[in-house]
Structure 1
Amino acid sequence: MELGSLLGEGMNPKRSAKRFRRAPGKRPMPFTAFVVRETPAAAKIAIIRTGVTARVVDEMVRYLGVSKSDIFRVLRTPESTAHKLIKDSRPLDTAASERVVRVADITRLAEETFGGRAPATQWLKTPNLALDRATPLSMLDTEPGASEVRRILSAINYGGAF
């Protein structure tokens, strides 16, 4: 997908990142936007550096069917901090914003692997023997954990068993 089609013709990635921080209802929140389509690296970097709105937590809870505390653990953001950021409509820090993008990317891969949102989110929430009985979602707080989840999804896609 071309950067222009995602961001709008003539927009640069830095300025377009601000679009993802607007109030809910005006524009799609970043989580669903990232799950629905592959986002160019330049746009991801700009959005991560600008900071994803903390309100994305509510969308992640709805989309994945998990609790806010589960999302706060994956984002490695204390609940009190996250609640204040949400209340003040402020962005998450760079590290938490990167984790939002990571979770969305892995969710998209899981949806492609399992053929839809429901089986993908169920798989993300189910303890996995290959991850020492941790859930794939819980592994997404670090890049090495996400790499393991990607490896498992790849093995499933190409006939491996996990």
Structure 2
Amino acid sequence: MAEESNRSERRSWRIASVNNEVATINVDTEAYHFLKPYAQNDDPPLMAKEPELVYERIKPMVQYLGYSQQELSGVLEVDPSTLFRWDKGDKTIGKMRSKAMYDIDHIIAKGVKVFGSEKQLKEWLSTVNQALGNQKPIELIKSPYGIELVDNAMEALLWGNVL
């Protein structure tokens, strides 16, 4: 029998075995990796509470993912020249684009938890995965639907499935 408990930032399952031994499995993840929330004590913030991002804030995450300017413009659905303008100023990238970047960053935070390091996560992201339709997770997270598939795959890994 499993029961879930939510305390501030922690999510864990208490599992009782047949002989009444109880084990606790922590499956909590940081809300974000590159885009840390401003209030560390709060529950993972709702996206509506998160500020719109300025381009400068997403640059470390984009560098980690290795996305070219062309690839990033596809993810954000803007012309590459818009990225150039954003890089010159401190304008926000908009609510929907900010949400997309928070979603990708949440995947990175979960992946670092699952794989233990940015390096091992990057290796998994860059490897063709049969469970994801023989696609690379790093390519899938470029779309909202792909983010969900990669998130589900990582959740399965947290519970011991091999993908």
Class of the TM-score when normalised by the shorter of the 2 chains: 0.5 to 0.7
Percent identity of the aligned residues?
A: 20
| Number of residue pairs matched by the alignment | 132
1:104-136 CA distance string (max 9 Å, x none): 100011111101111112222323222223321
Provide the C-alpha distance between the structure 2 equivalents of 1:39 and 1:73, rounded to a whole number of angstroms.
31
1:105 aligns with: 106
More helix per residue: 1 or 2? 1
Q: Does 1:46 pair with 2:13?
A: no
Which structure exhibits the higher relative contact order, with contacts defined as CA atoms closer than 8 Å and separated by 6 or more residues? Answer: 1
Note the aligned Cα RMSD (angstroms). Answer: 2.8
Secondary structure of 1:61's counterpart equals helix
Residues 34, 64 of structure 1: alpha-carbon distance in 2 compared, 3 angstrom cutoff: farther
Provide the C-alpha distance between the structure 2 equivalents of 1:88 and 1:72, rounded to a whole number of angstroms.
17
Consecutive unaligned residues of structure 1, counting only runs of 5 or more, are 4-29
Provide the C-alpha distance between the structure 1 equivalents of 2:78 and 2:127, rounded to a whole number of angstroms.
22
Contact 2:65 2:122 in 1 (8 A): yes
Provide the C-alpha distance between the structure 1 equivalents of 2:147 and 2:35, rounded to a whole number of angstroms.
20
Q: Compare CA radii of gyration and give the structure with the larger one.
A: 2
Residues 131, 74 of structure 1: alpha-carbon distance in 2 compared, 3 angstrom cutoff: farther
Q: Given the alignment, which residue of 15, 28, 36 partners 1:34?
A: 36
Q: With the length of structure 2 as denominator, give the TM-score of the two structures.
A: 0.66
2:156 aligns with: 155
Structure 1 residue 150 displacement after superposition: 1.3
More strand per residue: 1 or 2? 2
Consecutive unaligned residues of structure 2, counting only runs of 5 or more, are 1-6, 10-31
> Could you list the runs of 4 or more consecutive aligned residues of structure 1 that deviate by over 4 angstroms after TM superposition?
none
